[in-house]
A and B are shown apart, each in its own frame.
Chain A
Amino acid sequence: MASRADRGIVSEWWWTIDRWFLAAFLALMVAGVVLSFAASPPVAERIGLEPFHFVKRHAFFLIPAVVTMLGCSMLTPRGVRRAALVIFCVSLVMMVLTLFIGTEIKGSRRWFDLGALSIQPSEFMKPAFIILCAWLFAERARRPDIPGNFFSIILLFVVDALLVAQPDLGQTLLITATWGGLFFMAGMPWLWIAILAVLGVVGGASAYLVFPHVASRIDRFWTGEGDTFQTDTAREAIMRGGWLGQGPGEGTVKRLLPDSHTDFAFSVLAEEYGIIACMILASVFCFIVVRGLSIALGQRDPFSRLAVSGLVFLFGLQSIINMAVNLQLMPAKGMTLPFISYGGSSMIAVAVSAGFILALTRKRPENASQTDRLVQRTAAYHGA
């Protein structure tokens, strides 16, 4: 590898990148490909494509995903902000357009058709939105005269309105919860947090009342009555797998699972590779969140601190919702498992998030812990 003395872009990147994160993300990407061999063929067969259609596409999307992740990880914090701003503006415009010219799939307009490939702009909007909000909160914390909080609330409303219009309540929930997490991490007063929590509950209740499919899903979760085919089948798949799984390609219940390659990929993983493998996967996500938050805590720059926290929240919440639905801990809600579930847009967008995390957690002089400790010791010595 490059010498430490070499100050070129690549060697600079290699010596400053957080390799634990890099390893975790690459491991998830590889796991996603391996798992797609289990989860996608039955779906492809069911809709009349050749069995490895989705596997091939998954592997194909991995190349731009890795490139995107590494490319984003080269950015400086300022570059991250700029990129986020551009991505956010473009995806916001596209989200508005999808409402009018988007392809309607299963009753929602989320997809933007670009000839050969279709794009889900809301996936790209998520990391960009988090970065922008982190920046607004950070600016506001540094200079109270900037109405950062106010702007971020407006952004949240705009984004939520567009997501509800699609409608995509899962993403709305995710983005709002992540924003709430940022709000909390930015050190806002507890009173405000309480007020926002109440507003969140009101929003959830109104979703229950306004959208019949939301109500029916929640009812089904609480009562266990009605059509619980998907979640029950997922449960059967997990239980059939047991601790060690049925073995690759040996799953049978997966064939009954309608969304085995996306929302219920976790259950397929359990059936074929076993619960222990699932636990390892869950612990990788947990590791990303915990490491992200602990690195964020060490960041001197408030923007990096909040942005990294927000991005790992997004990562963590998405994985938690997906796994909790598979394990019947939550009402059924379509949510992809980052890097694992099939989906081109989702994978590239997750790669953008991962790239941003890597970029913001790179070792920077101002965060050098030795200096930090020296400064603290000096301060203590001087009795400050």
Chain B
Amino acid sequence: MINFIKECRKEPEDLPASSFMLASRRRREVAMPRHRERFVIAVALFCAIYVVIGGRMAVWGAFPSDGGGYRYVPSQIMAARPDLLDRNGKVLATDIKTASLYAEPRRIVDADEAAELLLSVLPDLDPKTLHDRLSSKAGFAWLRRELTPRQQQEILKLGIPGIGFRTEKKRFYPGGPTAAHVVGLVNIDNQGIAGMEKYVDDAGYSALQSAGLAVDTDLKPVNLSLDLRVQHIVRDELAAAMQRYRSIAAGGVVLNVRTGEVLALASLPDYDPNNPVDALKKENLNRMSAGTFEMGSTFKTFTTAMALDSGLVKMTDSFDATKPIYIGGFRITDFHGKHRPLTVPEVFIYSSNIGSAKEAETVGIEGHKAFLTKMGLLTRMHTELPEVATPGQPKEWKLINSITISYGHGVMTTPLQTAVAAAALMNGGYLIPPTFLPRTEEQAAALAKQVVSKKTSDEMRYLFRLNVADDRGSGNLANIPGYKVGGKTGTANKVVGGKYSNTKKFNAFLSAFPIDNPQYVVLVVIDEPQPEPGKYYATAGMNAAPTVGAIIRRAAPLLKVKPDFGDSGKSLLVSY
């Protein structure tokens, strides 16, 4: 090192002297070439690299969206959802823009003042939490999502620094709870979590959303098969029935027998999807598709249809219902006991357990099981609605199971699939999977599967009508003039603590109208009804049947079913 320093001391003496002496200069030029070409190479290389850099910038500037590595993370909060409409174009669910309030606590000058001012507009905020949030050192904190325009305006007027609004899309359900269980709901990030909202997500919308294509574009609305007017009537009548019969729950469905479209489906108690605080409460579940029940005597519809369709039983055949059946320590009796042999129609309208058991016995256990499977009553139903329960059946079918199942105990099904199976008995024998989306008869015909013969279907229509029109039938209260209602009641004892309760009932009325050419199946279930004041019984004929009647009376004109009052009706109109 010391040598080097000495070296550099020597140097300056050489330089000035040599620079004026041509000879020494020339010698040194030879000894120390400048390597001009290397400077040229270096300059060229550097310039080339800077040109590449400039070029890259020019390309990025000219084609800003080009390139695979460029990611755009869509804000799901801002993502739009398609509107849900009913079959007539009435809005069931839509997006509205709302403002959400946030704070940037670090920018807040005076947290005490800010908290006080905000509380004057949003008094329901917790003062302590609010103050803690505002005085924290965080960069961002939500204060309140989804404000009303009035609240936003008032907060703007306060002029607090360090707070701001973010526009969010909020899902709004104009009908409130009317179609809550079918339409479903979304979470705060606008993702469908129940009902048809979830179906829309699962059917590809969420893929669209995460691909960033669902932002601010006008998405095509999705029409549902529901008719909002009928839906409202069903829910309204169910609510009235719940109150009148003091039941814990009620449910109803209106199904088009030719297309499988669900026109209305309601289950009470329900919730308001605009404020879904109790959407997840157990009693608010959709009983019609997500609840399974022993359907009781309405199941005799299927037992009778099975017996008739098997060819082993004719309408004119009789079954001895004189004595109860004793099997495996159980005694099976009739509620409306006649203690005499009953014909097939009598078994149906008197709702004879003994008769039904004997019908099932005629077909046999395997045949019974096969028939119910064919009707789709033992397997999970496939439809758009995500909330669908799987039916329950005995692990092993013995005679006692077949006998109890013949009158609706021992198999648990969802009310909706019961209605779907009944529709097959009404429409000439075609089982059509239910749908919540519009479907034409042609589309339905492609999906339909013949499960019983036309003859059986005709006979079942006769029996349905008989049960309502005949004075002896259990469904008289559903007889609405002009609409030719037919149906079957069912009053099942509920299982409480592993035993059949005598007081807790699950009532149903399974009906179709107009019975000479059925268009709609209407099923109403009433869970744990009490007798009306002044009446002793709370059987299905006393509550479910009149509820169905009320629904049909109000909804039939909207469903474009032409009333037929027969000859007397015509004369009445003329003379009026």
Q: Which residues of A contact B (CB under 8 A)?
A: 45-46, 48, 78, 81-82, 85, 135, 139, 141-142, 146, 181, 184-187, 224, 228, 231-232, 235-236, 238-240, 242-243, 270, 275, 278-279, 282-283, 285-286, 289-290, 293-294, 296-297, 300-303, 305, 309, 313, 316, 320, 323-324, 327-329, 365-366, 371, 375, 378-379, 384
Asked if A327 and B60 make an inter-chain contact with CB atoms under 8 angstroms apart, the answer reads: yes
Asked if A142 and B39 make an inter-chain contact with CB atoms under 8 angstroms apart, the answer reads: no
A227 CB to nearest B CB, Å: 12
Contacts of A371 in B (CB 8 A): 19
Contacts of B137 in A (CB 8 A): 48
How many Å lie between the Cα of A184 and that of B26 in the bound state?
24
Contacts of A327 in B (CB 8 A): 53, 56-57, 60
Asked if A329 and B70 make an inter-chain contact with CB atoms under 8 angstroms apart, the answer reads: no
User: Quick check: is B554 within 8 A (CB to CB) of the other chain?
Assistant: no
Asked if A78 and B43 make an inter-chain contact with CB atoms under 8 angstroms apart, the answer reads: no
User: Quick check: is B16 within 8 A (CB to CB) of the other chain?
Assistant: yes
- Across the interface, name the chain B residue whose C-beta is closest to A323: B53
Contacts of B60 in A (CB 8 A): 235, 238-239, 275, 327
Please tell me which one of the listed residues B33, B49, B106, B139 contacts residue A187 in the complex, with CB atoms under 8 A apart.
Answer: B33
A36 CB to nearest B CB, Å: 20
Asked if A135 and B16 make an inter-chain contact with CB atoms under 8 angstroms apart, the answer reads: no
How many Å lie between the Cα of A270 and that of B1 in the bound state?
47
How many Å lie between the Cα of A142 and that of B15 in the bound state?
12
- Across the interface, name the chain A residue whose C-beta is closest to B42: A293
Asked if A296 and B39 make an inter-chain contact with CB atoms under 8 angstroms apart, the answer reads: yes
Kindly supply a per-residue 1/0 record for chain B positions 146-172, scoring 1 wherever the CB is within 8 Å of any chain A CB and 0 otherwise.
000000000000000000000000000
List which B1-46 residues lie within 8 A (CB) of chain A.
1, 4-5, 7-9, 11-12, 15-16, 19, 22, 25-26, 31-36, 38-39, 41-43, 46
How many Å lie between the Cα of A366 and that of B35 in the bound state?
19
Please tell me which one of the listed residues A243, A278, A320 contacts residue B49 in the complex, with CB atoms under 8 A apart.
Answer: A320
Asked if A384 and B26 make an inter-chain contact with CB atoms under 8 angstroms apart, the answer reads: yes
Asked if A290 and B54 make an inter-chain contact with CB atoms under 8 angstroms apart, the answer reads: no
Q: Which 4 A-B pairs have the closest CB atoms?
A: A275-B61, A286-B50, A187-B35, A239-B64
Asked if A275 and B57 make an inter-chain contact with CB atoms under 8 angstroms apart, the answer reads: yes
User: Quick check: is B498 within 8 A (CB to CB) of the other chain?
Assistant: no
Asked if B69 and A224 make an inter-chain contact with CB atoms under 8 angstroms apart, the answer reads: yes
Asked if B38 and A232 make an inter-chain contact with CB atoms under 8 angstroms apart, the answer reads: no
How many Å lie between the Cα of A323 and that of B58 in the bound state?
14
B101 CB to nearest A CB, Å: 20
Asked if A320 and B50 make an inter-chain contact with CB atoms under 8 angstroms apart, the answer reads: yes
A330 CB to nearest B CB, Å: 10
Please tell me which one of the listed residues A184, A303, A305, A320 contacts residue B53 in the complex, with CB atoms under 8 A apart.
Answer: A320
Asked if B61 and A242 make an inter-chain contact with CB atoms under 8 angstroms apart, the answer reads: yes
Asked if A278 and B57 make an inter-chain contact with CB atoms under 8 angstroms apart, the answer reads: yes
How many Å lie between the Cα of A262 and that of B22 in the bound state?
52
How many Å lie between the Cα of A6 and that of B398 in the bound state?
123
Cross-chain pairs A/B with CB under 8 angstroms, 11 sampled:
A78-B12, A85-B5, A224-B69, A235-B67, A289-B50, A293-B39, A301-B15, A305-B34, A327-B57, A366-B16, A366-B19
B140 CB to nearest A CB, Å: 11
B105 CB to nearest A CB, Å: 12
How many Å lie between the Cα of A78 and that of B36 in the bound state?
25
Asked if A290 and B38 make an inter-chain contact with CB atoms under 8 angstroms apart, the answer reads: no
Contacts of A305 in B (CB 8 A): 34
Asked if A329 and B15 make an inter-chain contact with CB atoms under 8 angstroms apart, the answer reads: no
With A135-B8, A236-B70, A366-B19 already in contact, the answer to whether A297 and B61 are too (CB < 8 A) is no
Contacts of A240 in B (CB 8 A): 64
Contacts of B248 in A (CB 8 A): none
How many Å lie between the Cα of A50 and that of B38 in the bound state?
50
- Across the interface, name the chain B residue whose C-beta is closest to A305: B34
Kindly supply a per-residue 1/0 record for chain B positions 350-380, scoring 1 wherever the CB is within 8 Å of any chain A CB and 0 otherwise.
0000000000000000000000000000000
User: Quick check: is B312 within 8 A (CB to CB) of the other chain?
Assistant: no
How many Å lie between the Cα of A316 and that of B47 in the bound state?
10
Contacts of B42 in A (CB 8 A): 181, 184-185, 293, 309, 313
How many Å lie between the Cα of A199 and that of B11 in the bound state?
34
Chain B residues bordering chain A, tally (CB within 8 A): 47
- Across the interface, name the chain B residue whose C-beta is closest to A236: B70
Secondary structure type dominating chain B contacts: helix
- Across the interface, name the chain A residue whose C-beta is closest to B15: A366
Secondary structure type dominating chain A contacts: helix
How many Å lie between the Cα of A43 and that of B47 in the bound state?
33
User: Quick check: is B71 within 8 A (CB to CB) of the other chain?
Assistant: yes
B258 CB to nearest A CB, Å: 55
How many Å lie between the Cα of A46 and that of B137 in the bound state?
11
B42 CB to nearest A CB, Å: 6
Please tell me which one of the listed residues B1, B19, B22, B53 contacts residue A365 in the complex, with CB atoms under 8 A apart.
Answer: B19
How many Å lie between the Cα of A240 and that of B41 in the bound state?
36
Please tell me which one of the listed residues A78, A224, A231 contacts residue B8 in the complex, with CB atoms under 8 A apart.
Answer: A78
How many Å lie between the Cα of A141 and that of B71 in the bound state?
54
- Across the interface, name the chain B residue whose C-beta is closest to A228: B69
Contacts of B534 in A (CB 8 A): none
User: Quick check: is B68 within 8 A (CB to CB) of the other chain?
Assistant: yes
Asked if B64 and A232 make an inter-chain contact with CB atoms under 8 angstroms apart, the answer reads: no
Asked if B26 and A379 make an inter-chain contact with CB atoms under 8 angstroms apart, the answer reads: yes
How many Å lie between the Cα of A293 and that of B35 in the bound state?
12
Asked if A289 and B46 make an inter-chain contact with CB atoms under 8 angstroms apart, the answer reads: yes
Contacts of A46 in B (CB 8 A): 139
Please tell me which one of the listed residues B32, B35, B47, B106 contacts residue A290 in the complex, with CB atoms under 8 A apart.
Answer: B47
B413 CB to nearest A CB, Å: 51
Contacts of B5 in A (CB 8 A): 82, 85
Asked if B11 and A78 make an inter-chain contact with CB atoms under 8 angstroms apart, the answer reads: yes
With A48-B137, A78-B8 already in contact, the answer to whether A279 and B57 are too (CB < 8 A) is yes
With A286-B46, A296-B39, A366-B15 already in contact, the answer to whether A378 and B22 are too (CB < 8 A) is yes
- Across the interface, name the chain B residue whose C-beta is closest to A45: B139
A372 CB to nearest B CB, Å: 9
Contacts of B64 in A (CB 8 A): 239-240, 242
How many Å lie between the Cα of A54 and that of B34 in the bound state?
45
Contacts of B67 in A (CB 8 A): 235
How many Å lie between the Cα of A318 and that of B139 in the bound state?
34
Please tell me which one of the listed residues B35, B38, B50, B61 contacts residue A282 in the complex, with CB atoms under 8 A apart.
Answer: B50
- Across the interface, name the chain B residue whose C-beta is closest to A302: B32
How many Å lie between the Cα of A82 and that of B12 in the bound state?
14
- Across the interface, name the chain A residue whose C-beta is closest to B25: A375
A292 CB to nearest B CB, Å: 10
User: Quick check: is B125 within 8 A (CB to CB) of the other chain?
Assistant: no
How many Å lie between the Cα of A270 and that of B58 in the bound state?
12
Contacts of B7 in A (CB 8 A): 139, 146
Asked if B57 and A290 make an inter-chain contact with CB atoms under 8 angstroms apart, the answer reads: no
- Across the interface, name the chain B residue whose C-beta is closest to A46: B139
User: Quick check: is B52 within 8 A (CB to CB) of the other chain?
Assistant: yes
How many Å lie between the Cα of A305 and that of B67 in the bound state?
43
- Across the interface, name the chain A residue whose C-beta is closest to B51: A286
User: Quick check: is B65 within 8 A (CB to CB) of the other chain?
Assistant: yes
Please tell me which one of the listed residues A141, A228, A243, A302 contacts residue B61 in the complex, with CB atoms under 8 A apart.
Answer: A243
A100 CB to nearest B CB, Å: 24
- Across the interface, name the chain A residue whose C-beta is closest to B104: A45
Contacts of B26 in A (CB 8 A): 379, 384
B74 CB to nearest A CB, Å: 14
Contacts of B36 in A (CB 8 A): 297
Please tell me which one of the listed residues A270, A297, A324 contacts residue B39 in the complex, with CB atoms under 8 A apart.
Answer: A297
B138 CB to nearest A CB, Å: 10
List which B160-195 residues lie within 8 A (CB) of chain A.
none
Contacts of B33 in A (CB 8 A): 187
With A328-B69, A384-B26 already in contact, the answer to whether A365 and B16 are too (CB < 8 A) is yes
